[in-house]
């Protein structure tokens, strides 16, 4: 009798263990390749969301708010973006809910161009780029950081450049501006220390986007003529070109599982239109997914 009870308990324990292992395996599955993409709809300039519904069909939802350089908050509930004022002389950072409600202006610097907002991994901070012309006409590129509600705005003085992007471990990747050279991709600590230059050539390397696992950076570069999408390891090694088009290719963004990239490209007979494409992370299986859109960002 005791042996029978023991084997029943043992059998129950094994079943529970297998169930727990299965649940852990399910929890470790990569996120869906398609979840939601925010982009700027053209020519209206309205911030728009492209997402899959329960029936695996894709819907386009307008926020009815104009905005560019869209960035998702880590919880997927908010978008940060820039909006223009003063006859486009002032650009300011804003946030809003994904349905367009609770629209809030965060920066107010007149005659300065604030753009490229990006949320910290914990959602508590927003880093952004700022440019302005001095009295002699020289453009000054700066990188700033603030709380997600717009408070405590602080310039990271050692970082001069644009397109800041957070790594999963809280560092900042950005397009650095060097005197006498074009833009290079660099990485630094959040306080601006430990700056490491990742690219080194006489071209413009812009818009770095870090893969969800923190191991790779996608970026755009005109090192081979026009702008194309490239990828490299987080330390700058193994730089590879992914796209090959006669028109400029812009704004790469990683999928949640890191297997794909989206980007925008000028299309049409006169290359005046701009559409959003998707490809595998090795540059294969290119497909157009959105017409008349730009500056697309994938919800991670």
Domains and CATH numbers, the chain: 2-298 (2.120.10.30)
pLDDT at 180: 61
Q: Quote the CA–CA distance of 260 and 39 in Å, as a whole number.
A: 17
Residue 69 · residue 81 · CB < 8 Å:
yes
pLDDT at 28: 44
Residue 183 · residue 206 · CB < 8 Å:
yes
pLDDT at 188: 98
User: Residues of 247-265 as b/e, b for ≥16 C-beta within 10 angstroms?
Assistant: ebbbbbbbbbbbebbbbbb
- Residue 124: beta bridge partners? none
User: Residues of 124-156 as b/e, b for ≥16 C-beta within 10 angstroms?
Assistant: ebbbbbbbbeeeeeeeebbbbbbebebeebeeb
The list of the chain residues with pLDDT below 70 reads 1-34, 53-57, 179-181, 268-272
Q: Quote the CA–CA distance of 107 and 93 in Å, as a whole number.
A: 5
pLDDT at 29: 39
Q: Quote the CA–CA distance of 217 and 211 in Å, as a whole number.
A: 6
pLDDT at 56: 60
Angle, CA of 138, 139 and 142, to the nearest 5°: 140
């Amino acid at each position: 009798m005791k042996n029978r009870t023991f084997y029943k308990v043992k059998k129950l324990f094994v079943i529970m263990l297998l169930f727990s292992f299965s649940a852990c395996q399910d929890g470790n599955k990569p996120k869906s390749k398609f979840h939601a993409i925010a982009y700027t709809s053209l020519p209206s300039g309205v911030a728009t969301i492209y997402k899959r519904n329960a029936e695996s069909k894709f819907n386009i939802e307008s926020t009815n708010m104009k905005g560019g350089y869209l960035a998702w908050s880590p919880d997927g509930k908010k978008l940060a973006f820039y909006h223009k004022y003063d006859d486009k002389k002032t650009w300011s950072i804003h946030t809003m809910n994904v349905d367009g409600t609770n629209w809030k202006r965060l920066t107010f610097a007149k005659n300065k161009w604030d753009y490229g907002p990006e949320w910290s991994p914990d959602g508590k901070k927003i880093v952004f780029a700022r440019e302005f012309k001095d009295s002699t006409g020289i453009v000054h590129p700066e990188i700033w950081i603030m709380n997600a509600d717009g408070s405590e705005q602080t310039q990271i003085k050692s970082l001069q450049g644009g397109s800041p992007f957070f790594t999963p471990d809280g560092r900042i990747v950005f397009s650095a501006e060097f005197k006498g050279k074009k833009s290079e991709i660099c990485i630094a600590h959040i306080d601006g220390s430990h700056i490491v230059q990742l690219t080194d050539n006489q071209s413009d390397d812009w818009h770095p986007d870090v893969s969800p696992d923190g191991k790779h950076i996608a970026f755009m570069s005109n090192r081979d003529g026009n702008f194309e999408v490239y990828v490299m390891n987080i330390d700058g090694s193994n730089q590879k070109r992914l796209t090959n088009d006669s028109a400029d290719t812009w704004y790469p963004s990683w999928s949640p599982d890191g297997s794909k990239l989206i980007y925008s490209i000028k299309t049409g007979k006169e290359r005046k239109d701009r559409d959003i494409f998707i490809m595998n992370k090795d540059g294969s299986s290119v497909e157009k997914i959105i017409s008349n859109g730009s500056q697309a960002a994938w919800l991670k």
